[in-house]
Structure 1
């Protein structure tokens, strides 16, 4: 993957990689970049009978830390509220819900590295 210079393009390419990763793990991607007045969910997926809200953080380097570390407790709480808002608008039955984070390190001239943390803030 060539590393895009534009931040929005970089973020979108990271989300593409994250979705491909989730599908390879057997999940079904239900929604991407869902927005409401309170914020945005990068990816909503289904893992068996569990609804997964996934935050994707993409960076070019570790200069400002690991991408996964950028997801704070406040962000997890916001994602939980957004997940309930998403569920209120979509007729998806699920036994449970969890929040995952995928960090993508898009290094120039090298393959991207993905780190998938399952069930943050549980």
Structure 2
């Protein structure tokens, strides 16, 4: 898969995840926020909680389920990025949560979307 195709797939997966989370009552606050330490895919508000969400999208399960791509090291990096985002925006929310959404394309029909709350 080419780099451009991967980027398109990733953007599509972020769109799918964003719709799923807003349908669940969350509000998108920021998207694809970057700093020198990395990128946060989605920042959302879930009531009083600010949610930093990593989205992993795969076109097949040949290399494993998308959620398998987020382990302890990635979760730690997401916590650091969340702290940087909060500092950059001078916010102190009531609560902060790190979530992951895995989006897996299916041969037919709607993609499989799995949302895991509070990974770290």
Question: Which range, TM-score by smaller chain?
Answer: over 0.9
- Measured in 2, the distance between the counterparts of 1:43 and 1:94 equals 16
Q: Which range is displaced more, 108-117 or 58-67? A: 108-117
1:69 to partner: Cα distance: 1.0
Residue 13 of structure 2 corresponds to which residue in structure 1? 14
Higher-RCO chain (CA-CA 8 Å, sequence separation at least 6): 1
Q: Which residue number corresponds to residue 113 of structure 2?
A: 114
Post-superposition offset of 1:110: 2.6
Name the residue aligned to 2:84.
85
Instruction: Provide the secondary structure at the position in 2 that maps to 1:16.
Output: helix
Q: How many residues align?
A: 117
TM-score (norm. length: structure 2): 0.92
Contact 1:60 1:108 in 2 (8 A): no
CA distance, structure 1, for counterparts of residue 83 and residue 46 of structure 2: 17
Indicate the residue corresponding to 2:72 in structure 1: 73
In structure 2, what is the Cα distance between the partners aligned to 1:98 and 1:64? Answer: 27
* 1:101 alignment partner in structure 2: 100
> Structure 1 stretches (4+) deviating beyond 3 angstroms?
none
CA distance in 2, matches of 1:25, 1:112: 17
Unaligned stretches of 5+ in structure 1?
Answer: none
Question: How much has 1:34 moved relative to structure 2?
Answer: 0.4
Residue pair 1:102, 1:117 contacting (<8 A) in 2 also: yes
Partner in structure 2 of residue 30 of structure 1? 29
Q: Distance in 1 between matches of 2:46 and 2:93?
A: 9
